[in-house]
Amino acid sequence: MTRTGSISFDRAAPYYDTTRTPDEASTGRVVDLLAERFAGSGHVLEVGIGTGQVGLPLARAGIDLIGFDLSAAMMAQLRQKSTGDPFPLVQADAIRIPFADRSFGGAYCRWVLHLISDWTDALEEMDRVVSPEGPIAIEPGGLSGVFAEVYLRFVELLGDAVRLPGLDLIDREAQLDDAMDALGRRLADVVPVTYERKASVAEQLDRIPTKVFAWTWDVPDGDLRAATDDVRSWAAARFDIDDPVADLPTPWRFYTRAA
């Protein structure tokens, strides 16, 4: 592991939404799901709210949201997208959440924990600021299927430079459930939300040298290009890299504390 601490997405703010926006329908399903689960919860916290892809529509759906992010630049994008006052946005690190114990009726994070070396501390903090009866929802992101295979090939070639500091990108669900269990929170529910956007491995490989993904940020440009060429030939020999592949379901995991 080359990095410790929590990775700020400052550098990704200008392009984040153009490279990471899921299709509208699946975002809608995520928002409906969270709106239903957090209805009547009082204030709800989004950890790593970023540009507000989930938070803005969720607030519009009537959830009383508060968001924080390590990157002010990402939240500046959120503010630009919102009409009028958005909900309160705080700059903070997930391993030291700046709220009192049991402040929230629920909390969630999406695509965050792989970026935090002390990700279990972040979970502990989420648990601390959420009331015992409130749910915590997590969509860890990460990589599945051919995309996981491709990434593992990069790990073979480039080693620790492409390892992110936090929750494992591939073996994430078991790790997450175990860490929550240690905090006294059980997995209550798993809700898959299938993204409709499809991407081919070739398209994905085209984007890797542009360094839009956090796991590429520590690799020198030349090394990344060389490795990408290598992985492309390796992949082409194994699968049809031009075939659009649906992203595998990335389930939302809901954790509750036993009464």
How many CB atoms neighbour CB 19 within 10 A?
11
Phi and psi at 43, nearest 5°, equal -70, 135
Q: How far is CA 104 from CA 66, 101, 126, 164, 214, in A?
A: 9, 8, 9, 29, 30
Query: Which is nearest to 22 in space by CA: 154, 197, 170, 179?
Result: 197
The nearest distance, CB 134 to other proteins, in angstroms, is: 11
Nearer to other proteins, 112 or 245 (CB): 112
The nearest distance, CB 135 to other proteins, in angstroms, is: 16
Nearer to other proteins, 70 or 169 (CB): 70
Nearer to other proteins, 70 or 176 (CB): 70
Contact predicate 127/102, CB 8 Å:
no
Nearer to other proteins, 43 or 163 (CB): 43
Nearer to other proteins, 100 or 174 (CB): 100
Contact predicate 221/161, CB 8 Å:
no
How far apart are alpha carbons 127 and 140 in whole angstroms? 16
Contact predicate 188/259, CB 8 Å:
no
The nearest distance, CB 74 to other proteins, in angstroms, is: 11
Q: Which residues bind other proteins (CB under 8 A)?
A: 42-43, 66, 68, 72, 75-76, 79, 84-85, 87-92, 98-105, 131
The nearest distance, CB 66 to other proteins, in angstroms, is: 5
The nearest distance, CB 151 to other proteins, in angstroms, is: 34
Phi and psi at 109, nearest 5°, equal -145, 150
